[in-house]
Amino acid sequence: MWIRFSILMLVTLLNTLLGFFVLKKTKANIAKIYFSLICFASAMWSGGWAIASLIREEYIFLIITRIFYIAATAIFLFFFLFSVQFLYKYKVNKILKYIITISSIYMFYIIISGKLFLGTCKFGGFMYQAENSLLLLAYGVYFMLILFISYYVLFTKYFKSQGVNRKILLWLISGTLMAFIFGIFFAWYMPYINKQHLNWIGPIASIFMNFSIFYLFFKKEEE
């Protein structure tokens, strides 16, 4: 129990540190503010899982579940906003903006109202949430759409960019893509196929993103 808690708290700490670090280096840069918000939301997601690993009360567990689901949804939204603003503002189709806004409101509604959750289940002494599989599928379609648009924007910027910006985009795309692939696999696909006991590994995948961004900040260069 404490091992899982410690690992998740370490990930929370790393995400919080990166969030503050990016914020500290930021001056009137909206893209980096969105990125630090991604870090704080990731910290909330992993921190939520860390606390949830200690909870034995179903009522409290479901409240915490709502919190880290909100955080996970915020990660996708902030990532979309970040991808649009990073380096220069990319013009996004108005219809897409409306689709994202309306679907986000609906997702927040099913999370906060608890419609997404059927109850809890137990594996190896740990409590997990049991989701409504249809709504979980809708949730999956929702974030896949957001990620698809975000990566379309980032890849477009990557292929049009040169020099130092191209290198930054490559690290950013690689780090976040790895984090999203592993995160989604454990935190969405596994619960979807009723293997909830691996759910908690999802937030740990954010260390791929942490590593790539910390590398960009601290890499040594030849003078």
Partner 1 sequence: MKKILLIFYGGTGLSDKKGNFKFVKEEKNIEEWLELVPELLMTAEIKTHVILGDHLNKKNITDLIKVIEKNISKFDGIVIIHEVDTIPLLSNQLFWQIQNPSKPIVITGSNVIQTEDSIIPDLSFKANLINAFQIVNTNLKKISVIYGNRVIAPFRVKRSKLHDLNIFKSVGKKYLAKIDFGLSLEKIDEQKGKMKFFYNFNDDFIFFNNIPDFTVLEKLLVKNSPVNIFIFRAFPDQIIKKDKLIEIFDLACKNKKMLIFYSEVGFGKDFLKHNIITISKITSDCLSAKLSWILGQTRDQNKIRKILQDNVQGEFLAF
Q: Which residues bind partner 1 (CB under 8 A)?
A: 22, 25-29, 31-32, 35, 86-91, 160-166, 168, 172, 213, 216-217, 219, 221, 223
In the complex, least distance from residue 70 CB atom to partner 1, rounded to whole angstroms: 26
The phi, psi pair for 121, rounded to 5°, reads -140, 165
Residue 42 and residue 75: Cα distance in Å, rounded?
Answer: 7
Name the nearest CA neighbour of 78 among 183, 178, 176: 176
Q: Which is nearer to partner 1, 89 or 195 (CB)?
A: 89
In the complex, least distance from residue 179 CB atom to partner 1, rounded to whole angstroms: 15
Q: Which DSSP helix (H) or strand (E) runs through 201?
A: none
In the complex, least distance from residue 35 CB atom to partner 1, rounded to whole angstroms: 8
In the complex, least distance from residue 32 CB atom to partner 1, rounded to whole angstroms: 6
Q: Which DSSP helix (H) or strand (E) runs through 186?
A: none
Contact present, 178 and 107 (Cβ < 8 Å): no
List CB contacts of 43: < 8 A, sequence separation 6 or more: 12, 13, 15, 16, 19
Name the nearest CA neighbour of 113 among 68, 69, 66: 66
In the complex, least distance from residue 222 CB atom to partner 1, rounded to whole angstroms: 9
Q: Which is nearer to partner 1, 93 or 221 (CB)?
A: 221
Q: Which is nearer to partner 1, 3 or 27 (CB)?
A: 27
Q: Which is nearer to partner 1, 108 or 158 (CB)?
A: 158
Q: What angle, 0 to 180 degrees and rounded to 10, lies between the N-to-C axes of helices 206-218 and 30-52?
A: 140
Q: Which is nearer to partner 1, 28 or 193 (CB)?
A: 28
